[in-house]
Amino acid sequence: MFPPALMMSRTSRRGLLTGAAALAALLAAPGFTPLLAQDATPAASGDPLSAWNDGAAKQAIRDFVASVTDPASPDFVIPEDRAAVFDLDGTLWVERPVYVDLMFAEDRARDLIAATPTLAKATPYADLVSLDDHTLVALPPEDVTELVVDPFTGETPGEYHDLAVRWLATAENGYYDRRVVALAYVPMIQAMRFLEANGFTVYMASAGDIQFLRAHAEPVFGIPPAQVIGMMVGLDVTPGDAPGETELQRTDQVAFPVWGDDKAIAVERHVGIRPILAVGNSDGDMAMLGWTLASPAAHLAMIVWHDDAVREFDYGPTNGMTQTRAELESLGIVIISMKDDFRVLFAPGDGPVVTP
């Protein structure tokens, strides 16, 4: 059950920017630079996983990296085959009280309704602005997809990117009273940097819109756009009156989903090799985790277990996962307990939003 505070406003936005100016503000705003600095710089102790408590999960990461990077180890994996894939929502940053891309779509729906009031009674706009967070996160993946895709139908990829960057530059999560971009889990970012420092290529694989993921993956998580795997929305070609006027426009159809079995397929198509490390937090990640566990090479599969009602939420895994912790561990999956394994959750220094 969600606490009453979830009925607070999900976002507040102060001012809009365009293009490069918005991205510059995103990078410079208080609370954002410390996030990147903390994940990249080990603590004074020299521990690259300083945001983790000592325990089985932290040790599993250390032991795995040591075994696959030591040429003398029977588990040695050449750098070219060291692929690691991380889910996004609930794995790298918060997914409760509501998914970040749903917050983005809701704000876009409100803007469109303000310009065209009749949309207030149309699907999916009415749902986006009227349903509470608890209902939204309980929707099946296909319904969530409709909500995050439809409000941007007709936009060009460039227009969508600009909308996403402008929103990310100022969006706040009212429940945490923090900027959206400051709600990434520092321990997970440290883990990704630790892997990269040891010859891994790190990928993000999410059911979210790939264009939205590309807008924040590198500045927030240090993952280049080329290493982002996400849902692909259909695109139409509009030729215009001359060759130089050809453009692409988003449709309301999904060209390729990245959920459940499709997530494992998407990773194969994008990466080209089976990952040896995968981290998720929901039933939608199980195919990806299972495929990783089936690797003939040394491998590590992990699930983030949300069990920290004080700093975040206590709901375990999500989206229909019925296995207990013991059952998952019997499959060879390592559980990451948010309560026990994360010494810190978010980076400090999330100051007020700067209005450009």
Handedness of CA 284, 285, 286, 292 (dihedral sign): positive
- The verdict on residue 283 lying in a domain is yes
In whole angstroms, how far apart are CA 85 and each of 41, 55, 93, 290? 22, 22, 15, 13
DSSP letter for 131, please: S
121-164 confidence digits (pLDDT tens): 999 999 999 999 989 988 888 899 999 999 999 999 999 999 99
- The verdict on residue 106 lying in a domain is no
- The verdict on residue 104 lying in a domain is no
CA distance 78 to 329: 27
Domain hosting 72: range is 46-96+183-341
343-352 confidence digits (pLDDT tens): 999 988 653 3
33-79 confidence digits (pLDDT tens): 434 434 444 555 689 999 999 999 999 999 999 999 999 999 999 99
Helices (H) and strands (E) counted in the chain, each on its own, are 14, 10
Number of domains composing the chain: 1
- pLDDT score recorded for residue 323: 86
Three-state SS for 84?
strand
CA distance 320 to 291: 19
Q: To the nearest 10°, the Cα dihedral for 48, 51, 55, 56?
A: -70
203-230 confidence digits (pLDDT tens): 999 999 999 999 999 999 999 999 999 9
CATH number of the domain that residue 92 is part of: 3.40.50.1000
CA distance 110 to 117: 9
CA distance 107 to 130: 12
- The verdict on residue 239 lying in a domain is yes
pLDDT reading at 321 higher than 80: no
- The verdict on residue 349 lying in a domain is no
153-180 confidence digits (pLDDT tens): 999 999 999 999 999 999 999 999 999 9
Q: Looking only at Cα atoms, what is the longest distance across the chain?
A: 68
Residue 201 and residue 84 in contact, taking contact as beta carbons nearer than 8 Å: yes
DSSP β-ladder status, 178-179 and 172-173: antiparallel
- The verdict on residue 258 lying in a domain is yes
Q: Locate tokens 């409000």: which residue?
A: 151
Provide the H-helix boundaries in the chain. 19-28, 33-40, 56-69, 100-115, 125-130, 133-138, 141-149, 157-168, 186-197, 210-221, 261-271, 286-293, 325-330, 338-341
Closest to 276 (Cα-Cα) out of 262, 264, 251, 294: 294
CA distance 344 to 176: 15
Question: Residue 254: enclosing H or E segment and its boundaries?
Answer: strand 247-256
- pLDDT score recorded for residue 149: 96
- The verdict on residue 142 lying in a domain is no
Average pLDDT score over the chain: 86
- The verdict on residue 201 lying in a domain is yes
CA distance 178 to 345: 13
